[in-house]
């Protein structure tokens, strides 16, 4: 049989076998009423919904954790050193990822023990598990979000009622507020990192101008001094400890 006839043949066989699957009891979705008046869905549909939610996992990793702040600060450091390709982007992403796991480990452990593990042990329903798993992330983001940013997005959401407590902030308001605060904090740390390297560039450029070496690139001369300064002060240790401690509540 030629290849162009294979696909129609497979589809025809599938259509012919669908009544057999239906008679054998294979259903796509089943619902059961709960004692509270709600409904629980079949495991097949839960897996489908879980696989769909996993597509948003990279976005959640970037926007709901400490990853964005760390990656931005490391990128600014690379520019301040005058080495736009060293460390490489892969190394920066790797450092940001593992430092994020270190910082977020209490949050991840809380989400696992409160939501994921009881659900896997079939002690709670899926909606309860999701609510419990999200709660540690809610507390983490809330602790890192500025009140001004939170108030801004809460007003933009058009909500008239006042918040009873910070724990009642909806995720639709908290996530953009957290992202805005993270961007502000990352650029503030990056500004402080940039200052000593800019001073070195100014000193080297002024020295070269006074010596009449205007054709020599100041960036080329200042690069070894900036690397030497960063190594002598143990810059990587200071930077990593500063980033980790910046998330302390």
Residue-wise pLDDT tens digits, 74-103: 999 998 888 888 888 899 999 999 999 999
pLDDT of residue 165: 72
Weakest-pLDDT range from 42-46, 222-226, 228-232, 239-243: 42-46
Higher pLDDT, 48 or 147: 147
On the question of pLDDT at 183 being above 50, the answer is yes
- Summarize the confidence of residues 177-189 as an average pLDDT: 92
Predicted local distance difference test score (pLDDT) of residue 157: 80
> At residue 33, does pLDDT exceed 80?
no
Instruction: Give CA–CA dist 240/244, Å, rounded.
Output: 6
- Check pLDDT > 70 for residue 17: no
Check pLDDT > 60 for residue 4. no
> pTM for the complete prediction?
0.72
pLDDT of 212 higher than 90: no
The residue-averaged pLDDT of 46-72 equals 78
Of 185 and 35, more confident? 185
Q: How far apart are CA 109 and CA 6, in angstroms?
A: 50
The whole-number average pLDDT for the span 218-237 is: 86
User: Is it the case that residue 132 has pLDDT exceeding 80?
Assistant: yes
pLDDT band at 45 (very low <50, low <70, confident <90, very high): low
pLDDT value at 187 more than 90: yes
Dist CA 12 CA 14 (whole Å): 5
Q: What is the mean pLDDT of the chain?
A: 78
Q: Which residues contact 46 (CB under 8 A, 6 or more apart)?
A: 126
């Amino acid at each position: 049989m030629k290849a162009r006839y294979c696909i129609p043949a497979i589809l025809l066989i599938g259509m012919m076998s669908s009544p057999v699957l239906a008679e054998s009891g294979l259903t796509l979705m089943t619902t059961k009423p709960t004692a509270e008046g709600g409904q629980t869905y079949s495991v097949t549909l839960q897996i489908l919904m879980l696989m769909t939610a996993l597509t948003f996992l990279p976005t959640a990793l970037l926007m709901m954790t400490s990853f964005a702040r760390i990656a931005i600060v490391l990128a600014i450091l690379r520019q301040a050193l005058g080495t736009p390709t060293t460390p490489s982007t892969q190394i920066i992403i790797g450092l940001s990822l593992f430092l994020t796991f270190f910082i977020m480990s209490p949050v991840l452990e809380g989400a696992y023990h409160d939501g994921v593990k009881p659900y896997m042990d079939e002690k709670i329903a899926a909606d309860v598990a999701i609510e419990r798993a999200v709660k540690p992330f809610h507390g983490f983001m809330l602790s890192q979000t500025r009140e001004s940013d939170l108030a801004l997005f809460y007003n933009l959401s058009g909500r008239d009622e006042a918040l009873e407590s910070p724990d009642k902030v909806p995720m639709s308001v908290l996530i953009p507020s957290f992202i805005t605060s993270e961007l502000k904090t990352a650029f503030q740390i990056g500004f402080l990192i940039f200052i000593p390297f800019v001073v070195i560039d100014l000193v080297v450029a002024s020295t070269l101008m006074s010596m009449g070496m205007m054709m020599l690139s100041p960036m080329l001369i200042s690069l070894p001094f900036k690397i030497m300064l960063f190594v002598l002060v143990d810059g990587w240790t200071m930077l990593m400890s500063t980033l980790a401690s910046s998330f302390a509540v």
